[in-house]
A and B are shown apart, each in its own frame.
Chain A
């Protein structure tokens, strides 16, 4: 059948959009993980970089908000829009909205970074430290990105909506609602704000990044393996159960606090419920990959996705276990939590973003990344994040045990000290991986060397 559109012209525009999102995201990855690296060295060297603008208390929020909202959000949005177009068999519909989304993401990231560095933030409340006007601009970016995806899917030539787009559209819708709930000030006072914070901080991770990343796996995995996803139904089951169980679990960040006891218990019960979508998703991916070892070994992109799926499973299951009161007793307030957040936001989310970019960007631009560089990126990032998580899990557990057995507080600082050094070393490996990734992004997106357009199908 004759294509209904000029494939080359369309791909050129779509690939420019995808490239721009990826370049922007990579810039913020480098900047905000350089900040993270500096922070990690401040643990063994607290007198390193003592300017107020380079102080721990200000830079920490720049690291977390930057990696979340300027790296991961932008990388996932760019890839999700591209996937929406490819699965719909049409070019991106509403490119202006997509470009406006990218502009808003960057305006928010620049303004957010500067204001945080000046000491302006929303009460040290994790992942919503940006002052409200900045979060409003970010919200606009999410809404515009979501509108692009929905419009593109609405113009699809396929009969059904591919499972990836379910997850993507869901993620955009949830995040807009979540952003509004978090930004309204009139009902958040004292302990009430604690309840909202628990709800917000966890949903920002699990209803945004998780949904977009899962959407990308559902497209990239079968595409790279050249076989269909094992079960469409399992994917839909994961969608609905994640939607139903996740919103309730936020209070597990505030166990043993004055929040109502039943509210905490409910959060723990639903944290166990989260095993359903996690097991459904992981099983679906594992069964899709069954017997694909040779393809995984040969591909540059697939190893990233395999590690991402592993950390989706490991990090999410860890989250369920962490929620039990007997373990929160020991682990809460310790660096175990920081290990967990890197297992999920880095091991899972960031690896899936890389996997999707390595899988799709070369197809969009016609430019391949450097093979050996990609292997080194993979090696450094995998070893780095694994060492990071293991070291902080051990160090954090020892911190908690120190507190539980009494003794002066400073003893727990001395106990954790060697693990903080190890974390800084692991973080250095991760940062080197990002530099290599940035080089590959340059190779994949540069204008020269563009492959000749494919011969039109006749």
Chain B
């Protein structure tokens, strides 16, 4: 079996040929084919602000606790309708995720449409859900003595804010919340 394999370069060549073929068949070709999935009818690409928000979502590692895929299983239907290929047409990098330390966010824009809620929750999740283990994202906010007219003020409940002054959402927080608000599943039309 191995008599022809006494040259290590033969092992290199055969390994590369076999694995290269398998990589093309099970990595490259599925990648190319599925990348061409047509968008679900009615699905809109993200706006510039929402796309910036998505970058923050990625950079802060939100996907290590929040998935963005609804499976056709009873326990997932609370998060929305089952996901279909076209839902991901504009979603690069993909954020399906393997983890649900927190709930799925596929349809969070519909399930929690309040931006005010999202700001408070990002500032301190435990201000809204006492048992939550989500980190605080305080660096997306700044505390100021007074709010300026253009500022987005966070309605922090008593006891969860700074000793004095107000909490203002930075542009990053506004971008992130704009992205979360944009996470809305489009309804599927009945097949003819």
> Known contacts being A124-B62, A192-B32, is A247 close to B92, with CB within 8 Å?
no
**Beta-carbon contact of B58 and A124 below 8 Å:** yes
**Stretch from A115-123, A280-288, A352-360 forming part of the interface with B:** A115-123
**Beta-carbon contact of A333 and B96 below 8 Å:** no
Enumerate chain A residues within 8 angstroms of B78, measured Cβ to Cβ. Answer: 409
**Beta-carbon contact of B30 and A243 below 8 Å:** no
Instruction: Report the bound CA distance from A150 to B11 in whole Å.
Output: 9
**Beta-carbon contact of B73 and A329 below 8 Å:** yes
**Beta-carbon contact of B60 and A57 below 8 Å:** yes
* B190 on the A face (CB < 8 A): no
**Beta-carbon contact of A259 and B34 below 8 Å:** yes
* A190 on the B face (CB < 8 A): yes
Residue in contact with B12 in the complex, picked from A169, A178, A409, CB distance below 8 Å? A169
Residue in contact with B16 in the complex, picked from A42, A177, A248, A335, CB distance below 8 Å? A177
A contact face: mostly helix, strand, loop, or mixed: helix
Q: Which of A404-432 contact B (CB under 8 A)?
A: 404, 406, 409-410, 413-414, 417
CB distance from B126 to the nearest CB of A (A): 8
Instruction: Report the bound CA distance from A194 to B69 in whole Å.
Output: 11
Instruction: Report the bound CA distance from A258 to B138 in whole Å.
Output: 35
CB distance from B82 to the nearest CB of A (A): 8
**Beta-carbon contact of B103 and A409 below 8 Å:** yes
CB distance from A141 to the nearest CB of B (A): 17
**Beta-carbon contact of A154 and B7 below 8 Å:** yes
* A257 on the B face (CB < 8 A): yes
* B49 on the A face (CB < 8 A): no
Enumerate chain A residues within 8 angstroms of B32, measured Cβ to Cβ. Answer: 187, 192
Instruction: Report the bound CA distance from A51 to B137 in whole Å.
Output: 9
Enumerate chain B residues within 8 angstroms of A404, measured Cβ to Cβ. Answer: 74-75
Residue in contact with A247 in the complex, picked from B22, B31, B59, B83, CB distance below 8 Å? B22
Instruction: Report the bound CA distance from A133 to B75 in whole Å.
Output: 40
Enumerate chain B residues within 8 angstroms of A28, measured Cβ to Cβ. Answer: none
Enumerate chain B residues within 8 angstroms of A207, measured Cβ to Cβ. Answer: 19
Interface size on A, residues (CB 8 A): 83
**Beta-carbon contact of A173 and B12 below 8 Å:** yes
Enumerate chain B residues within 8 angstroms of A332, measured Cβ to Cβ. Answer: 71, 98
**Beta-carbon contact of A258 and B84 below 8 Å:** yes
> Known contacts being A124-B93, A169-B15, A256-B72, is A55 close to B60, with CB within 8 Å?
yes
Of chain A, the residue at the smallest CB distance from B138 is A50
**Beta-carbon contact of A123 and B12 below 8 Å:** no
Of chain A, the residue at the smallest CB distance from B27 is A199
> Known contacts being A119-B59, A192-B30, is A170 close to B15, with CB within 8 Å?
yes
Instruction: Report the bound CA distance from A56 to B63 in whole Å.
Output: 11
**Stretch from A29-37, A160-168, A368-376, A380-388 forming part of the interface with B:** A160-168
Q: Which of A237-257 contact B (CB under 8 A)?
A: 243-244, 247-248, 250, 253-257
**Beta-carbon contact of A190 and B88 below 8 Å:** yes
* B23 on the A face (CB < 8 A): yes
**Stretch from B128-136, B161-169, B173-181 forming part of the interface with A:** B128-136
**Beta-carbon contact of A196 and B27 below 8 Å:** yes
CB distance from A319 to the nearest CB of B (A): 14
Of chain B, the residue at the smallest CB distance from A166 is B11
**Beta-carbon contact of B73 and A193 below 8 Å:** no
**Beta-carbon contact of A236 and B2 below 8 Å:** yes
CB distance from B31 to the nearest CB of A (A): 4
Of chain A, the residue at the smallest CB distance from B100 is A333
> Known contacts being A187-B28, A194-B88, is A177 close to B33, with CB within 8 Å?
no
**Beta-carbon contact of B23 and A406 below 8 Å:** no
**Beta-carbon contact of B26 and A243 below 8 Å:** no
> Known contacts being A124-B95, A257-B83, is A192 close to B135, with CB within 8 Å?
no
- Known contacts A120-B59, A154-B9, A207-B19, then 18 further A-B pairs from the complex at CB < 8 Å, ordered by chain A residue: A51-B139, A57-B135, A124-B93, A124-B97, A125-B93, A173-B12, A177-B20, A188-B31, A189-B35, A190-B37, A191-B85, A192-B35, A193-B35, A196-B28, A236-B2, A248-B26, A257-B96, A409-B103
30 A-B pairs within 8 Å (CB atoms) are namely: A42-B133, A43-B133, A47-B126, A47-B136, A51-B139, A57-B60, A60-B64, A119-B59, A122-B93, A123-B63, A123-B95, A150-B8, A153-B8, A154-B9, A170-B15, A177-B19, A181-B28, A191-B34, A192-B34, A193-B35, A193-B93, A195-B31, A236-B1, A250-B26, A250-B27, A257-B83, A258-B88, A332-B71, A333-B100, A337-B99
Top 4 nearest A-B pairs (CB, nearest first) are A123-B93, A57-B61, A192-B35, A119-B59
Residues of B within 8 A of A (CB): 1-2, 5-9, 11-12, 15-16, 18-20, 22-23, 26-28, 30-37, 56, 58-65, 67, 69, 71-75, 78, 83-85, 87-103, 125-126, 129, 131-139
